[in-house]
Amino acid sequence: MRRKPIELAAIATAAVPGLTPTAVSSAPDDPADFDSALLLDSEGKRWRVRSPRHAEASARLETEFLVLRAFAPAVRAELPFLMPTVAGSVRLGSLTTFVYSHLSGSTRSVEELTSGPSGLAREIGSALAAVHDLPRSLVSNADLPSYTPNEFRQRRLNELDQAATTGKIPAALLRRWEHAMEDVSLWRFNPCVVHGDLHEDNLLVESGRVTAVTGWTDLRIGDPADDFAWLVASNEQDFIDAVLKSYTSSRRDVPDQHLLRRAALSAEFALAQYLVKGLAAGDQDMVSEAEGMLESLASDIAEFGGQPISVEPLPAKGTPAGPAAAVPAAAGTSAAVPAPLHGSSAVSPAVTVIPVPAEPAADTTPDVPAPAAVHAQPAVHVAPIPAEPAATGAEAAEVRAGDTKAADDTSTAAISVINANRS
């Protein structure tokens, strides 16, 4: 059952003692997973409430809480962006709702990002570099996943096997992806801290700057290319190049030359993961959408060739893939061999992948208390919401303890006021 904004405001008062909402508005979010709202309290402070709609979404929020707790103040202070901080939580049955301090900025579509000021690409590149340069101990101390290149490659092969069992993935795609995953030379990279769920909805932007990064549910040590998949899927090569240039000059380690190839593979394979997720959830609309996108991808690759993802050329159709083939019937047969899920967002494929240039050394130096369920709705006196003032340096530092995984404009200056007495 979907929760209304006023209900989320009532829940927030139990999560954060002393919180008195004066205005509330629904907030953009993933509607399949969360109900969200933005609040304004009696002291003019802004808050964000996220309430999971099912157990898996609740588990993701609880994981994110553990991740955020691992970021000590000293670590946060070194980042060029702000991060969320949990202000309180309430457990209602088997689901936990979280309240976060509000972060300034709003999300932008990929089109808005790529057509924005040139400095925005540099900001995104620097933010990516800062995440990938985080100390690996931060992940290991929090007991989060860690993969070597070979372990990560094998994980992808296992996911491919799982996806093939659905019988819904075009054989040409299975063969293409298997070949890339078996191409050992493609998977020679230095593992680093990876955000794991980076895309436009997890970047907050304000005045041409990346002000905050949200959505920290999949932090791990793994392949940095995964955080580039959404960029490669944008098909905006100039923007990708600008982000990569900033990233390369900001990172302590020189990126490997096949980073964008693996990112392109990750972008394509996300469609198979999306299909498996839909099947696991029993969501026929999601399954149908995934099937359509997979067929379109296969058709585009057949007609235009698709972007190169393997270092070694794909053998001619019918040629054995080699002794280590992981998907037996995927090479040239229309019958799909066995597959399930692991991903989320659907992405489009065709982009020209350019190997990462090696930069000169000088440029590349590299359980929360759970109050009882709240049923009563507080009497909220609603007043007009003033425009959110620009944060001062001190205020910006204070906001480093805020959160939101926004999906459109998260500025509460444009909140649509809801009067509790009329609800």
pLDDT at residue number 318: 57
Tokens of 16: 């954060």
pLDDT higher than threshold 90 for residue 398: no
Extract the runs of DSSP E, i.e. beta strands, from 241-389.
none
Q: pLDDT at residue 399 above 70?
A: no
Q: What confidence score (pLDDT) does residue 314 get?
A: 76
Mean of the per-residue pLDDT values of the chain: 79
Per the rule left: phi > 0, alpha: psi between -120 and 50, beta: everything else, 369 is: beta
The answer to whether 298 and 306 are in contact (CB under 8 A) is: no
**Interatomic CA distance for residues 291 and 418, integer angstroms:** 40
Question: From CA 17, how far away is CA 99, in angstroms rounded?
Answer: 11
Q: 159: closest CA among 57, 261, 264, 277?
A: 277
Total Cβ atoms within 10 A of residue 85:
18
Strand partners, 97: 90
Give the pLDDT mean for 141-165. Answer: 94
pLDDT in tens, 96-123: 999 998 898 888 999 999 998 889 999 9
pTM: 0.71
Alpha helices in 115-236 (DSSP H): 118-132, 136-141, 149-164, 171-182, 229-232
Higher pLDDT, 394 or 203: 203
* pLDDT score, position 241: 95
Reduced to 3 states, what is the DSSP secondary structure of residue 41? Answer: strand
Tokens of 89: 């939580």
**Does residue 124 carry a pLDDT above 60?**
yes
Taking the C-alpha atoms of residue 276 and residue 283, their distance in angstroms, rounded to an integer, is 10
State how far the Cα of 6 lies from the Cα of 376, in Å rounded to an integer: 10
Kindly report the backbone phi and psi dihedral angles of residue 101, in degrees, each rounded to the nearest multiple of 5, phi listed first: -70, 145
pLDDT, tens only, 264-283? 999 999 999 999 999 998 98
Contact 232, 351 (CB under 8 A): yes
According to DSSP, residue 220 is labeled: E
| 392 burial level (CB within 10 Å; 0-12, 13-18, 19+) | exposed
Q: Which domains does the chain have, with CATH numbers?
A: 5-104+369-422 (3.30.200.20), 110-354 (3.90.1200.10)
For residue 305, which of 351, 371, 245, 261 has the smallest C-alpha distance? 351
pLDDT in tens, 349-370: 444 444 444 444 333 333 333 3
Give the containing element (helix H, strand E) for 89.
strand 86-92
Q: How far apart are CA 144 and CA 79, in angstroms?
A: 20
Q: How does strand 46-52 pair with strand 86-92?
A: unpaired
pLDDT for res 118: 84
> What is the signed CA dihedral for 184, 189, 193, 198, rounded to 10 degrees?
-70
**Which residue matches tokens 């009563």?**
376
Tell me which long-range contacts 301-308 makes (C-beta under 8 A, separation of at least 24).
301/172, 301/173, 301/176, 301/349, 302/172, 304/350, 306/176, 306/349, 306/350, 307/232, 307/264, 307/349, 307/350, 307/351, 307/352, 307/353, 308/261, 308/264, 308/353
Q: How confident is the model at residue 32 (pLDDT cuts 50, 70, 90)?
A: confident
User: 77 or 314: which carries more pLDDT confidence?
Assistant: 77
> What is the pLDDT at residue 315?
73
Report the candidate in 97, 111, 13 with the shortest Cα–Cα distance to residue 53.
97
Percent of the chain with pLDDT over 70: 74
